[in-house]
Amino acid sequence: MLLLTTALLCISVSASPPATYTNPLINQRADPHITKHTDGFYYFTATVPEFDKVILRRATTISGLSSAPETTIWRRKSSGVGSNQVWAPELHYINNKWYIYVALGVANEWRIRAAVLEGTGANPLTATWVERGLVQTNWDTFSLDMTTFVSPNGTRYFVWAQQEPSRTDENSSLLIAAMGSNPWSIRGPAVTISRPTLSWERIGYKVNEGAAVIIRNNKIFLTYSAAATDANYCMGLLTANANADLLNPASWTKSQTPIFVSNADTNQWGPGHNSFTVSEDGSSDVMVFHDRGYKNINGDPLNDPNRRTRVQKLYWKPDGTPDFGIPVADGITPVRLRSAISTGGAGTNGAVYMRFLTSATSGVGSGTGAVSLAETQFRLVSPGLSGGQGTVSLESAVRPGWFLRRYSGNLLRWEARVNSGTWNTEASFLQRDGLLVAEGQEKGVSFEAVDRTGNFVSFGADGRSLTLVNGGQEVQRATFYLE
């Protein structure tokens, strides 16, 4: 059996509370877009497998969207624009009206263009919708996946995917333009800010599409998707300074490797076409995306209906850039466990995280190379493997099926699950309020061993091992904060 230890990861961070959800959120809904409006509702739209309508849902929580009733606000037409594909709608609120940007096709033709619907009314599910037509861009060529955002200087921009006439061997590039006199027009010629020139962007199809923008830490981060819509589908990242000239292609820096890809360990394939929203308390960023739960597809991936909507918390690195991690396994999303042990004095934002380590000499959990976000994420499985009320088991996010277990005396390590009564008990804990209670500090949690009353999970004195300690003596070491 592969033996495991646990280590502390010390980094400087800006912490935010956990944002936990259960995946998949909505089955058979691709290209998902979730936005939280000022009325307190989350609004959801996405591509349906039939490619024949625009749907909306709303709920007061992200999880509530899973079972929220669905309203069709626009249907495929019998002829002309909108008589074939209906792809990737996005809902935005601009100048006191609702707008849906959606790619529409024409029956019996390969003619897909970005179009706009306008809705009047407080609730977009019951609003009066009218067609505002196609967005007139530089060229009358294949275009789709239009999104919009407002820069810190107050300018509203559109970003979309379009085939450039001079690059017909490629499917689509990313273009940007400022909004024109209304939300269905652009001002001036658009400029190209990204083309599918990297090898991972050109697998199956040569694609840059599905842009989404999040603005944090004086930077504009623009994600996009690339390659064919099978297991090769993945996400890339463009970055610009918040005060830069966004219409100058030189303002954008492109990551040379994908930032979100398929993961065999978690069985998530082809993650992409994302959007961003915020958690219910507004304190955490949440990424919304689609993927599939299997790798192999028969025929054209677009004809496979099982892309499903997923959500997971977006984390941030100490340098202020986003950390997308991995597409986590189905079920409840994981959290990070930050120890109450401080690595710095007053006024610092030092943090100590539990980390998944194994005795392997290379690869995940080996302790070599840069630590990944997923190595510091763990799922709190409730009830725990022992099945007792109030119990939890801690499962690795990077290696699903590996749990924290008391294997000898008070010593703990991560092991692949062995489904026996004794093993399950040794891998189960009672989640308690944090033993460390200090005025003005956040509320923590502590984990008491099911089979050793009064003994709690703690970091050892070496800063690497995990052990059980007497909760009355080591309250700080036995207290964690969830992120």
pLDDT at 343 exceeding the cut of 80: no
pLDDT of residue 8: 33
Classified as helix, coil or strand, 64 is helix
Which of 234, 342, 231 has the alpha carbon at shortest distance from 296? 231
- Identify whether 209 is a catalytic site residue: yes
CB 427 within 8 A of CB 388: no
The H or E element spanning position 424 is helix 421-426
Q: Rg for the chain (alpha carbons), in Å?
A: 24
Encode pLDDT of 422-434 as tens digits: 999 999 999 999 9
CA trace torsion 434, 60, 211, 243 (10° rounding): -70
What sign does the CA torsion over 452, 4, 330, 322 have?
A: positive
CB 225 within 8 A of CB 233: yes
pLDDT at 460 exceeding the cut of 80: no
pLDDT of residue 345: 33
CA trace torsion 308, 312, 318, 321 (10° rounding): 30
- Banded model confidence at residue 11, pLDDT cuts 50, 70, 90: very low
- With left for phi above 0 and alpha for psi between -120 and 50, is residue 297 left, alpha or beta? beta
- Give this prediction's pTM: 0.93
- Banded model confidence at residue 9, pLDDT cuts 50, 70, 90: very low
- Banded model confidence at residue 352, pLDDT cuts 50, 70, 90: confident
pLDDT of residue 353: 84
Token pair recorded at residue 187: 């001002």
pLDDT of residue 465: 73
CB 208 within 8 A of CB 172: yes
Burial pattern 394-404, b for ≥16 Cβ within 10 A else e, equals bbbbbbbebbb
- Looking at per-residue pLDDT, the higher value among 416 and 357 belongs to 416
pLDDT at 33 exceeding the cut of 80: yes
pLDDT at 368 exceeding the cut of 50: yes
How many residues does this entry show for the chain? Answer: 483
pLDDT of residue 342: 62
Mean pLDDT of the chain: 92
37/437 Cα distance (integer angstroms):
36
- The catalytic position among 31, 145, 170, 375 is 31
- Banded model confidence at residue 361, pLDDT cuts 50, 70, 90: very low
With a CB cutoff of 8 Å and minimum separation 6, the contacts of 343 are 10, 350, 351, 352
124/271 Cα distance (integer angstroms):
28
Degrees, nearest 5: CA angle 24-25-26: 95
Encode pLDDT of 149-199 as tens digits: 999 999 999 999 999 999 999 999 999 999 999 999 999 899 999 999 999
Which of 256, 214, 258, 253 has the alpha carbon at shortest distance from 234? 258
- Banded model confidence at residue 348, pLDDT cuts 50, 70, 90: very low
Residue 101 CA: distances (Å) to CA of 84, 104, 160: 16, 10, 10
- The catalytic position among 145, 201, 209, 395 is 209
For residue 1, count CB atoms less than 10 angstroms from its CB and return exposed for 0-12, middle for 13-18, buried for 19 or more: exposed
Mean pLDDT for 20-38 is: 98
CB 288 within 8 A of CB 279: no
pLDDT at 394 exceeding the cut of 70: yes
- Banded model confidence at residue 397, pLDDT cuts 50, 70, 90: very high
The H or E element spanning position 425 is helix 421-426
pLDDT at 1 exceeding the cut of 80: no
What is the CB-side half-sphere exposure of residue 267 using CA atoms within 13 A?
9
Classified as helix, coil or strand, 273 is strand
pLDDT of residue 14: 54
